[in-house]
Each structure stands twice: as structure tokens, then as C-alpha cells.
Chain A
Amino acid sequence: MNIDIKIPEFSESISEGTVSTWIRKVGDHVDEGETLVEIETDKVVLEIPSPATGVIEKIIKDENEIVNSHEVIGQLSESSQNIAQNNQLDSDDKGVVSENNANNKSDNYKKTGPSVRKLIEEKNVDIASISATGKNNRITKQDVLVAYSKDQQSNLSQSSIDVANRNNEIERVPMSGLRKKISDRLVAAQQEYAMLTTFNEVNMSQILSIRSKNKDKFLEQHGVKLGFMSFFVLAAIEALKEYPVYNASVEGSDIVYHRYINVGIAVSAERGLVVPVVRNADAKSLSSIELEINKLAAKARENKLSIDELTGGTFTITNGGVFGSMLSTPIINPPQSAILGMHAIEKRPIVEGDEIKIAPMMYMALSYDHRIIDGREAVLFLSHVKRIIEDPIQLLLHL
């Protein structure tokens, strides 16, 4: 009996996806629930599990093809092995049946041994991508090496896609769904928005000393390292409360003010930039914000973010400082109206009173939509953030 492999219902905000990787190939024996194929959408990568145990009969949508909700992308046939087993269950010879059961069951997992496991670790090969040729579904050393060389080849061939259009100097690679979406959005923001950036600098010595004084206790108490980001989130929230227009968005000729503050945190993942959202950040404590950012960032790196975690942001913070950026102009994440950019902390000479001192300094950048935000407010917003970061006690006093 053939069973369809189908795309599940995409959520409202996703129109289509791209077949990213077929993890299993035609002819592979697969177990129910095992991941067959990865579908990339503009927001997340979906793993499609096998609907049943059997053999992959047909792949209808190849890699890089566009797919929609409920579309059939392949077919599975119930394995002949299972059918044979069912026939044997009718047999009178009980001993044989139970032994065969044991053998079939033992086929359910790929067996390895210690030296093979060592090789898998060293070559960093995904065990799911190895086809086992040994007795009773056993992975041999040779199988690992074959899978490894396939990995290497596919890496090579990926970089040489579309050979015909390539001369010696260029290399043409189709954008992934996610990359395309990022590109469309950024261009749209540049075209539709009256985008402007204002800068300020902030003395980080207070935050650094709070952090070094409390980092061990904080880690012990909350199970997460005390970072800078949560301070900036809190400072931004104070400024957003003061200047609610930063938390608003433009819809047609209306300005929509949000009563809640959902702060998006830009995270660089392997597949591209994603912006998971800390919801109702204004109702959260510093430690819970820090914890949530950590969780979201970890999920982002593993491509495990859900759509919910990626949508609904009202303001964004991006930290180019983690890569050492000194100064940049961040692009607004539509339909939001502003984005705060953090940068690298560097010791710089500053003038305090009439003396030159060394202080850990950071440049901040605030890009905003000039259609609804005036320059004066932009400067004030940023200096509000600066004031809090330089004297965090203000957070307590809500000054």
C-alpha cells in the first residue's frame, strides 16, 4: 500500500516553502516518525516526519522546488519485510515466528561498535545519513567513510551549482527561502521607509562593574550568565514607555500604537539572520529576559525556532558588537518603526571634567522611521538609553 508524504498546514504568515534537503532517498527503509525531509520557509525549517514505516517509493518534489500546504511531495510503500512478517505470524511454528520477530526488531536500529562510533564522531557524519551494509543493519567503518566522502562531494557540488552560467570568477548560488525573505524585507524597508539613523556613545563602566561583581552569584541563582543585552532591553523599555511612537507601526495612513512591548533580538544563525521575540518584555525581570534571550538564541542556532517565537515584535535590538563592529546603521525590521544597534565595547580616551580618562565605550545607533518619528525624539530616545546604561540605578527609580 502506498502512503503519501505530505506538507503539513503552514501557518497563516507563511505562504510557501522550499524543499531544502531530502534526508532519506528513494529505496531507503524508514521508520515511522523518522525525519524524511526538511522544508525551509522564510521563518523556520520544518522537519517532515515519516507517516509510516516502509520504503520510500517516489520523490515528487525535488530539492529546491517550491511547495505549498498539504502538497504531496513523495510516496512511501509499506515495506515488504513487514508484509513477510505478517504472513509468518500465521504460521504454526511458534518458535520460528518469535525468532523472526526478534530479528526483524533488531533491524529497527542501526548498530555500531566502538571503533565505528569513534570514526563517526571524528568525521562528524550524521548517523542518519549512513546506510548500513553490515549484517543485521550494522554500520561498518566502510559505510562511515562512504557517507563521509558523499558529504564532502555534496559540499563540493553545492559550491559548483549551475556550472553552465559560471565563468572562472563567479559562482552562482540560488538564495535560500530565508535569505530571499531577508533580502526582500530589507529592500522594502529601505524603499518604503524614510529611514534615518542617529548615533550616540555610552560609557559602559557601570554595567561592567555590576556584571563583574555579580556574575558568579547571578549564574548560581539564575542558571544563566549575566550579559549586557538584558540591560539594553530594560533601558530600551524605559525609553519606549517615554516615547511610545517607537513602539508603533504605520498601517496605511494610521499609526498603530502597541500597548505591549515585544522586543526582537537579532541573532545570527547558520542559515541567516533571525529575530526571535521576547514577548511582553516590559513585564519581565532582568534575569528572566536574560534567560529567555539565551533560550531563543540556542534555538535559533539549532534552527528550532517556532513561528510564534519569530513574529509579533514591536521593537528590535541588534548587537553587532559580538562580531566586533564599531559602528553601523541597522535596518528597521518592518512593520516596526525603529531598531537599536549595539556595538563593540572598546577602551577609549574620554574627557571627564577637564581630565582625559580611559573608559569602556560603546557606540549606539538608532535607525527610525522619519515618517512618524521626529529627529528630536530620536536624539532624546537614544540619550535616555544612554543615561540608564551609564547610571543603571535609574531603572529602579524609573527616572
Chain B
Amino acid sequence: MKKSNFDVVVIGAGPAGYVCAIRCAQLGLTVACVDAWSDKNNKPSPGGTCLNVGCIPSKALLDSSHHYSFLTNYAAVHGITTKECDIDIAKMLQRKNKIVKTLTTGVKGLLKKNKVTFVHGIASIKSAKEVHITKSDGDQVLVAESIVIATGSKPLELGFLSVDQKQIIDSSAALELGKVPGHLGVIGAGVIGLEMASVWSRLGAKVTIWEAEDQFLPMVDKDVAKQASKIILSQGFDVQLNSKVQAVIKNKKSVTVTVLGAEGESQTEVDCLLVAIGRVANTENLGLSDLGLAQDSRGFVEVDAQWKTNIEGIYAIGDVIGGAMLAHKGSEEGVAVAEQLTNQHGHVNYAAIPWIIYTWPEIAWVGDTEQQLQIDNVDYKTGSFPFTALGRARAMGDTEGMIKFIADANTDRLLSVHIIGPSASELIAEAVVAIESELTAADLARTIHGHPTLAEGMHEAALDLDGRAIHY
């Protein structure tokens, strides 16, 4: 069998793995990056869940459906009337697939440019120094000084329910529906459930979401969650909290869902049922148990603060170690491990990771929620600003939502920022820089923001912390 030697073998070419591989290469290490993902033609498709069936394709459909929703619901107030407005789902999916193709090809190009050896195949770790690759054109052994596991995560399935990807689907198939379902049922009102519900409800589906928790968006700041339930829940999809799916029966053309809610058991018939209840570590085929690599009860690989597993020389990063399942968190861990391997200090500030939910308006935040700060007994102060008071938001016609700042009451240091509103995903970047740089609210209040922009809302919320917002 062919044997090759590398300084580092990275398993997985998602946003954690390929970024780690490139950073290692930049630092002068010899790197192989192994990935098993194939496209419909069995060609390699690096980029992991994010590029293939996650962040990118979902955003493509969110944007397409947003345009449709604008034309049918909001264009009229701008003085734009449309005679006919049709949806060509096939074309919409084609556009999405083309974007995925462009970007995965781009990752291949980036790896090549950085002289990372890309290996398309299934990896299993034989020892702390050896990775065995099963692939179509002959198996191969990679020998490495260090191994980085970055194999990501996959959708969690409900025990009693098997996903057939036609009537009962997971998030990947929800990006591939050939026609708009009449009634889409969704189990789980988390980020993925809400985003897919947004896409298909905008395109005309009736959407019902069942959520077992009794709170809407419990991980979000309470003021933002309150606004979100008001705004988002008025957009044509029905979120039923405190509702546990008890049974699912597949009929010929529909699915009957039995739900135990606050008012007892009820049955709903849907055309298609999306299971979006969370994600678990993807460690199949890696041979971790034979290796004795420590995993927690949910299968996530256990690592210490330096992303070291219990086996010397093997590291793990990204979704496979659990925590925040975010592409940008994984990428940053990839960079940190690479730098650590070359004797630098690996830097990931888990307190300054932006979180984004791509509903419309978008929800984005960084830092602790107000309810968490109360639990932690932090002495804080808050400031906020509504988008209704912003000229730019008025001009856009997107006036729903607000920005909330929380700062330390004693030092004025910015602790967290919570946004629900247009382009919250972009606005949050300023807050992340501020928190990472340990700025105070007064620092942002003293920083000039362009006019008219949505970012002025950030300025005003910072001013409001000091009781001196100008425009509200």
C-alpha cells in the first residue's frame, strides 16, 4: 500500500479542517487534508456541511425566497407592482447548486495553491501517527507527526423516526425539495428549523413548527426573543411551544404527526416533515473506540484547552468537539491548532463568537445574554435603540427590531450586543471587534459612524448606555 509522510494530516475539509490545513501550510508544515464528501458525480466536494448542505446553500435559498417575498408582499409600497410573479423551483435550486459548486471548487483551488495534499477518501485512524484512507483508486496510508480530527457533525435523528429524505427529511434534504410543499411540518424551533421554515413559508408553504421547550429562542437575549416572537411569528408560520412529537405515521402522500402539547394530544397532517432537533458528532469510520480516543456521552471528541485529545499528537476541532456548532468557531480553532503546532500561542476567545440566525429580520448577538449576566451576578447596564428611529431603516422599509448593548456598570467595558433587525448579521461584526478589543461603550459612542446607515443604530445604542442617545 502506498505510504506518504506529512507533518500534519487533517481529517475533514469543512471550515475547521480546510482552514487548519491552509494555516499549517502557511506556517511551513507539510499537510494532507482528507475529505470523504462527494458530489452527485462522485467527485470530491470539500467544504463540509457548511458549503455543501449548510450555511451556503441555505443562505442562497433564503436570499432567493426573500426576493420573492419582497416582490409579492413589500414591493407595492415602493411603488413597484408586478403583474405575475412565479416561482421556478428547479431554477432556484440550480442557482443554489451552482453557488455550492463554485465554492467547493474554490476550496480545492485554495488547498492546491497552498500546497496542501488533498486526499478524497474515508479516513480511519490506526494509531497516533497513522491514518488509513479507503478510496476508489486504491487505499493509502498517511503517516503524520500530528493528526487533526475535523470531521464535523450530522443531523440528530429522533429515535422512533427514520429519515427517508422524501416525506421525512433532515436539513440537507430540506434544501432539495423539488416543489413547495403544501404543508411543511418542522420538529425543532432552533436555528435550522427557523431558517428552513422561513424559506418554504416565503415560497408559499404552510409551516408548522413543534418545539419541545416552553420558550421561544431560549438561548437568545430575552428582549430580542420577545421581539422575535412578535415579529417572526407573524410571518405566516406557526410555532407551537411545549409540544412534543409523540408519533409519526407515513401515509401514501402525507405524514400524520401526533403531538402532545399543553392542551393535550393532537394530530396534524403534513406533506413533508423536517427533523431539525440538533446535531451530533460525525465520527463514523474513524475507528475512535478501537483507538481509545475519549468521547463524551453524545459522541463529541473530548479535548483540553489546547484542543488535544487524550491521545498525544491527536487534536480535534470544529463541530466534532461540540460547543458552538458554528463554521467560524471551527475555522478559528483550526488556525489556533496550526499555530500551536508551530509553537505559537493558539488564540480562540470563546466569549467573543458571533451568533446569527438568518430569519428576516435577522437575529445576531455576541457575548452573554442579560438573563445569563443576572445569573452570574454581574453588575451591568444596558442601552438600546430601535430601528424605527433610523433614517436608513426607514428608507429601506425595514424598521422592525432593535439593538441592545450591555456594558459593565463599573468599567463601562462592552460585555455583549444583541440585535434583531435588518442586516444584523453584518452589524454584529462591529460589536465582535469591540468586545475582542476590550473597548468600552464610550469608545464606540466616541467613534464616528457613517450616515445614513444601519450602523448608526450601534452608535446610538452605545450612546444610550450613557443616557445620551440623540435620535430617540
What residues make up the interface of A, taking CB atoms closer than 8 Å to B?
95, 98-99, 102-103, 105-106, 108-109, 111-114, 117-118, 121-122, 136
Contacts and interface: CB of A to CB of B under 8 A. Distances in A.
Given A99-B468, A121-B345, A111 B439 contact: yes
Contacts of B411: 105-106, 108-109
22 contacts: A98-B467, A98-B468, A102-B412, A102-B440, A102-B466, A105-B412, A105-B440, A106-B412, A106-B413, A106-B440, A106-B442, A109-B413, A111-B438, A112-B437, A112-B438, A113-B436, A117-B347, A118-B344, A118-B345, A121-B345, A121-B347, A136-B443
The 8 closest A-B pairs by CB, nearest first: A121-B345, A106-B440, A102-B442, A113-B437, A111-B438, A122-B345, A102-B412, A118-B347
Contacts of A113: 436-438
B349 interface: yes
Contacts of A106: 411-413, 440, 442-443
Contacts of B344: 118, 122
B410 A105 contact: yes
Nearest to A121: B345
Contacts of A99: 442, 445, 466, 468
Most buried by B among A102, A112, A117, A121: A102
A42 B432 CA distance: 49
A102 B409 CA distance: 9
B441 interface: yes
Contacts, number: 51
Nearest to A116: B437
A108 B410 contact: yes
Contacts of B412: 102, 105-106
Contacts of B438: 109, 111-113
Interface of B: 344-345, 347, 349, 410-413, 436-443, 445, 466-468
Contacts of B439: 111
Main SS of the interface on chain A?
A: helix
B23 to A, nearest CB: 14
B387 to A, nearest CB: 25
Nearest to A102: B442
Most buried by A among B438, B439, B441: B438
A209 B443 CA distance: 63
Nearest to A106: B440
Nearest to A117: B347
A114 B350 CA distance: 12
A111 B412 CA distance: 12
Given A102-B466, A108-B410, A114-B436, 19 more contacts: A99-B445, A102-B412, A102-B441, A102-B442, A103-B442, A105-B410, A105-B411, A105-B412, A106-B443, A109-B411, A109-B438, A112-B437, A112-B438, A113-B437, A114-B347, A121-B345, A122-B344, A122-B345, A136-B440
Nearest to A136: B443
Contacts of A111: 437-439
Contacts of B410: 105, 108
B414 to A, nearest CB: 10
Contacts of B467: 98
A121 B344 CA distance: 9
A112 B352 CA distance: 14
A95 B468 contact: yes
Given A106-B443, A109-B411, A109-B413, A114 B349 contact: yes
A274 B411 CA distance: 40
A108 B440 CA distance: 11
B417 to A, nearest CB: 17
A98 B349 CA distance: 31
A108 B445 CA distance: 18
A111 B440 CA distance: 9
Contacts of B441: 102
Nearest to A99: B466
A99 B441 CA distance: 10
Contacts of B440: 102, 105-106, 136
Nearest to A100: B442
Nearest to A139: B438
A106 B413 CA distance: 7
A105 B347 CA distance: 27
B382 to A, nearest CB: 14
A95 B440 CA distance: 17
Contacts of A102: 412, 440-442, 466
A117 B410 CA distance: 23
B57 to A, nearest CB: 31
Contacts of A122: 344-345
A121 B336 CA distance: 13
Most buried by B among A106, A112, A121: A106
B91 to A, nearest CB: 43
A293 B421 CA distance: 57
Contacts of A136: 440, 443
A145 to B, nearest CB: 15
A95 B469 CA distance: 11
